[in-house]
Copies of this chain bind each other. A is one copy, B any other.
Amino acid sequence: MTKSVYTFGGGVVHDDARAKDKNITGGKGANLAEMAEIGLPVPPGFTITTEECVCYLKDGADFSDALRAEVAEALAHIEAAVGKKFGDAGDPLLVSVRSGARVSMPGMMDTVLNLGLNDETVKGLAATSGDPRFAWDSYRRFIQMYSDVVLGLDHGSFEEALEIAKEDRGYFADTEMLAEDWQELVGEYKSIAESELGRPFPQDVNEQLWGAIQAVFDSWDADRAKVYRRLNNIPGDWGTAVNVQAMVFGNMGETSATGVAFTRDPATGDRHYYGEWLVNAQGEDVVAGIRTPQYLTKRGREAAGAELPSMEEAMPAAYEELARVFDLLENHYKDMQDIEFTVQQGKLWMLQTRSGKRTAKAALKMAVDMVGEGLIDEVTAIKRVDPMALDQLLHPTLDPSAERHVLTTALPASPGAGSGKIALDSDLAEKWANDGAKVILVRVETSPEDIHGMHAAKGILTARGGMTSHAAVVARGMGRPCVSGASAVSIDMASRTLRIGSAELKEGDIITLDGATGQVMQGEVPMIEPELAGDFGVLMEWADKYRRMRVRTNAETPNDCRMARQFGAEGIGLCRTEHMFFDADRIMAVREMILADDEAGRRAALAKLLPEQRSDFTEIFHCMAGLPCTIRLLDPPLHEFLPQRDEEFAELAEDLGIGADHLKRRASELHEFNPMLGHRGCRLGITFPEIYEMQARAIFEAACDVTAEGGDPVVPEVMIPLVATRKELEILRALVDRVAAEVFAEKGRTLDYTVGTMIELPRAALMAGEIAHEAKFFSFGTNDLTQTALGVSRDDAGKFLAQYVDAGIYPRDPFVSLDVDGVGQLVSLAAERGRATREDIKLGICGEHGGDPASIAFCEQVGLDYVSASPYRVPIARLAAAQAALNA
């Protein structure tokens, strides 16, 4: 029979691997068992598995007799180990009850201490400890804690009662309370609990225990826990374990203490012990801030200029023992540990150890240092650093010590932080930026028309749109911080004012965005610039050694290309040619082309665009010399390029010598109900072949010119977007081949190039075997593939996506992390069918998912040849690709 309860401590050694499997006994339980087995002083206890939690939450039923029997047996194990009996009025066993999921997870029930106290056992505790004050203090702590976290009563009443009790007696500090005072307060606490609860505070110690177990299980589904899981991508079906452990007391006088510590500095990664402790206290006192904790080490105390003695100074023996444990644990776990301990009357007890949370900088430093120390190898170092954490290192961040006046929190759409004057339109943003001001562009949503404003801005805030809305995607590509989907923002363009939550602001007011948290703050918050320490380069080098997939970048400006190469990009995976169409000096020609009445008109306008586009490509090919460049031909529906405002129509009409009304009618004819599914992508190439002809010509002319200058040749990979049928690609490949031949003939040289397609529609994935006959490469456009497979517009998903993730309908935002179960099927099926037709077909991904570590892991599984990410995500992708290869 599978066990549901595992004991630890008191000399127990399990041969059942489940006992130390975090998935079964949770992080805390597994580590307690492990520490006990390697001989560290761990108070005996037991762990109820996460599986029981999942069962409980699913069936909502009572606990089984089998479980009750296992718990009783495990309790007997503790009793035997410590020589006390649970509920024994003479010499009672007290226990702590704690939650413990696979990963540490704020938001769940944390701890109940001193469980097992009641009106009888408190007397036994007083007698055996010889300290009635300690016993009654423990009892009142227990009532207060249990009432709060298990019974859900308002803790304010208890705090108030304690305040009154002290006032009545003229005390200032809790320490002045005598045993009788605490005893009296216990009486009051019990009445408070009874009146709120409608029944007496439970005296039955088993009822206390099961209540606490149930509370731990229930807390898995508390709202705060759900939100935390959503933000941290923790599946809702893991559940939590429950740890029940014999109490040890840090509050048994001046030879007792409690503390938390890290084996290295979690903020910097420096190799010093780091921690806090309190004499004569229980664990919650350290965290609760009632007393100011003291530094653990002399070094720490001196560095902070603190008065109160460090543990190193005050309890040298216990400290020495602790330091020995630190080294032992770090050697054992091969990682920096986050530790909780208690000293009871001079004896050290370990209550918890886990791999410590750390800043990105610390993670990087520790990983590299530990390789140097011979503690871990490169592979472990690579696996140890969360790729997403690198993001913090690549963008300026807010000074964590600065005060923040947060107006609202929305989606952390693009990392980094920025401050500036609010500009409500892109022209103004650009103007102010040109005048030297720092600007934050605030829009209901952005469109391709806003590119110049976004570029000019230090940050972008939108009222609508999700993590992959236009604003988010473009901002990430540009490396601009962005907060999107801020529904608390409402803009009144008429008065050029806006509300953010309850604050009234006007254009020109200064705000600060934190793209890493989604916070929008009033005024300017001080920043710290990124430090690309040497450790960064070292880790990247190791990553490159172990990864199989290539990493390219999504870029279309020379600036982005240069930055991406600096970050290690090995080519361009997606160059979106339409971004070049929005430049102020081109948009007129673009509009002329779109609004032309016939092909001749379009060709005339395209002739104006050709030299512009060719010079774009020339610059890009210079930047990317020697590397492959995937260039996607025009993709968005033409109406995206059209004027929006009357003045613009008037200007264009004058320019073209046509009536503005005529233009407006033409423009309205281009309106689409669902532009995402409209006349775009290769459909433009089929219906207006002259557009793709011009683009192909610009590509090949530029490539020939750059090669003629003697530079390393680029390999243009011409990519046809939105293909759903073999025939589309057949027609357009023939067009590209024809133009290439023409240009090569004119230029008197040839060069290597390929033609391929995006796989971004479900039908394309299904028909990949057919399409591969025409395609030298597939690039998975997983943004659009997600939109179509799930039937979700990323621009409109904000209305329900958060609720969907909370309800567990999507494990994560499917635009951020690939929906492996659904969309993933299409990707792997297309890869398989594509390869069946063309063994050496090159496969890559160029959706936003190309910069998401979980999605990159999937790409490795499917065996893609490369991933492509926005420039700032290139290092993340390199590390994630290495991890994926190592985990494969």
Contact = CB atoms under 8 A, between A and B. Distances in A.
A677 B762 contact: no
B800 A679 contact: yes
Interface in A832-887: none
Contacts of A724: 790-792, 822
B766 A796 contact: no
A421 to B, nearest CB: 25
A763 B823 contact: yes
A819 interface: yes
A410 to B, nearest CB: 15
A519 interface: no
Given A762-B788, A791-B761, A675 B678 contact: no
A807 interface: yes
Interface string A721-740: 01011011001000000000
Interface in A732-766: 760-763, 766
A606 B825 CA distance: 40
A672 interface: yes
A490 B819 CA distance: 44
A191 interface: no
B784 A763 contact: no
Contact of A789 (B727, B762, B784, B803): B762
A177 interface: no
Contact of A727 (B672, B727, B796, B808): B808
A784 B795 contact: no
A530 B821 CA distance: 52
B673 A793 contact: yes
B686 A804 contact: yes
B803 A686 contact: yes
Contacts of A687: 799-800, 803
A739 B490 CA distance: 38
Contacts of A821: 767
A796 B686 contact: no
Contacts of A761: 789-791
Which of A762, A766, A791, A792: most chain B CB closer than 10 A? A791
Contact of A796 (B672, B799, B819): B672
A565 to B, nearest CB: 33
Which of A665, A677, A793, A819: most chain B CB closer than 10 A? A677
Contacts of A825: 766
Contact of A788 (B683, B788, B810): B788
Contact of A725 (B728, B766, B809): B809
A288 to B, nearest CB: 37
Interface string A101-120: 00000000000000000000
A793 B731 contact: no
A232 interface: no
A675 B676 contact: no
A678 B793 contact: yes
A677 B678 contact: no
A478 interface: no
Nearest to A672: B796
A675 B686 CA distance: 26
Contact of A809 (B727, B784, B799, B826): B727
A722 B791 contact: yes
Interface string A798-823: 01100110011110000000010111
Contact of A763 (B678, B686, B791, B804): B791
A787 B766 CA distance: 15
A677 B674 CA distance: 8
B826 A796 contact: no
A791 B725 contact: no
Contacts of A767: 821-822
B674 A796 contact: yes
Nearest to A236: B727
A809 B796 CA distance: 31
A714 to B, nearest CB: 30
Contacts of A822: 724-725, 762-763, 766-767
B787 A763 contact: no
Nearest to A804: B686
Which of A673, A767, A810: most chain B CB closer than 10 A? A673
Contacts of A796: 672-675, 677-679
A826 B787 contact: no
A836 to B, nearest CB: 15
Interface in A658-701: 665, 672-679, 681, 683, 686-687
A676 B679 contact: no
Nearest to A766: B825
A787 B687 CA distance: 20
A826 B766 CA distance: 9
Contacts of A819: 763
Given A677-B796, A762-B762, A727 B788 contact: no
A809 B686 contact: yes
Nearest to A791: B761
Given A727-B809, A799-B679, A826-B766, A784 B793 contact: no
Contact of A683 (B727, B800, B823): B800
A401 to B, nearest CB: 38
Nearest to A674: B793
Contacts of A679: 796, 799-800
Nearest to A684: B800
Nearest to A792: B677
Given A766-B822, A807-B731, A809-B727, A674 B795 contact: yes
A826 B677 contact: no
A633 to B, nearest CB: 16
Contact of A676 (B677, B728, B784, B826): B677
Interface in A561-599: none
Contacts of A681: 791
A675 B677 CA distance: 11
Nearest to A765: B762
B673 A807 contact: no
Nearest to A821: B767
A731 B808 CA distance: 10
A793 B787 CA distance: 13
A682 to B, nearest CB: 9
13 contacts: A673-B675, A674-B677, A674-B795, A677-B677, A678-B793, A686-B800, A687-B803, A725-B822, A728-B809, A761-B790, A763-B790, A766-B826, A788-B789
Interface of A: 490, 665, 672-679, 681, 683, 686-687, 722, 724-725, 727-728, 731, 760-763, 766-767, 784, 787-793, 795-797, 799-800, 803-804, 807-810, 819, 821-823, 825-826
The 5 closest A-B pairs by CB, nearest first: A677-B793, A674-B793, A762-B762, A763-B822, A678-B796
Given A678-B799, A760-B791, 18 more contacts: A673-B676, A674-B675, A674-B677, A674-B796, A677-B796, A678-B793, A683-B799, A683-B800, A686-B803, A728-B809, A762-B791, A762-B822, A763-B790, A766-B789, A766-B825, A767-B822, A788-B789, A788-B791
